Amino acid sequence: EAEVAQSPRYKITEKSQAVAFWCDPISGHATLYWYRQILGQGPELLVQFQDESVVDDSQLPKDRFSAERLKGVDSTLKIQPAELGDSAMYLCASSHLAGHNEQFFGPGTRLTVL
Amino acid sequence: SQQGEEDPQALSIQEGENATMNCSYKTSINNLQWYRQNSGRGLVHLILIRSNEREKHSGRLRVTLDTSKKSSSLLITASRAADTASYFCATAPGTGANSKLTFGKGITLSVRP
């Protein structure tokens, strides 16, 4: 069964360092999402791609976060510099169509900023 | 911001019992979805109910939707220890092809063997 792949699964970094997360969606899924999930909360959307284009990045802290999906397949989310408050689970999801469809999630990357 | 609010926040039941979880939301929706998350893992889609549907079943899951009350419930029948997880409702707004899902804070379900 096809799955969304994410790496690394865990990342520990010191504040002010740069970190990067990678996501490979299910083959054929045009829509890719990055979410941040703080412990005890639900996921919150950071950025949504349709193919290689960003369609929603309204909640992405653009002074330190960036995301790209250059060839419309896999994607990278970067934080530079990392802050203590960035400690969270970063989840990637994909869907066949945008909008009102079920999303398939990867296992997530647990980030700890010291 | 999180539109869906689940109730209760935590639920503990005995294996074999039924578990009922509720979700309320504020604005009009195209559909409402329920997801499960095992500890430290990604979310798994359980079921999607559209705004023109009132009830939907999938295996041991039953979901209802009352758009007049802006609420939904998820019933898990004959619960098993493996159902122990966090459950989230997520709402998809009524308009916009690229509209985003908004998740609630989740319900922690513990099923005691």
Substitution target from B63, B101, B102, B108 for chain A, most A beta carbons within 10 A: B101
A87 lies in a domain? yes
Which residues in chain B land under pLDDT 50? 1
B42/A4 Cβ within 8 A: yes
- For residues A21 and A72, the model is more confident at A21
Here the CATH number for the domain that contains residue A27 is 2.60.40.10
The confidence score (pLDDT) of residue A2 equals 83
Contact partners, residue A107, CB within 8 Å, separation at least 6 = A6, A9, B41, B42
Total structural domains within chain A: 1
- Residue A78 lies in domain: 5-97+107-113
- For B5-88+107-112, the fitting CATH number among 2.60.40.10, 3.40.1410.10, 1.10.3720.10, 1.10.540.10 is 2.60.40.10
For chain A, say whether B24 makes contact (Cβ under 8 Å): no
- Kindly list the domain boundaries of chain B, sorted by start residue: 5-88+107-112
The confidence score (pLDDT) of residue B27 equals 87
Residue A27 token pair:
């083959």
The confidence score (pLDDT) of residue A62 equals 93
Please compute the mean of the pLDDT values over residues A2-12 and round it to a whole number: 95
pLDDT in tens, A26-84: 999 999 999 999 999 999 999 999 999 999 999 999 999 999 998 889 999 999 999 99
B6 Cα to chain A: minimum distance (Å): 11
Q: Give the Å distances, CA to CA, from B78 to A75, B59, B74, B83, B102.
A: 40, 11, 13, 10, 29
The confidence score (pLDDT) of residue A113 equals 98
pLDDT band at A109 (very low <50, low <70, confident <90, very high): very high
For chain A, say whether B54 makes contact (Cβ under 8 Å): no
Maximum Cα–Cα distance for chain A, whole Å? 39
- For residues B30 and A12, the model is more confident at A12
pLDDT in tens, B24-48: 999 889 899 999 999 888 999 999 9
A32 lies in a domain? yes
A102 lies in a domain? no
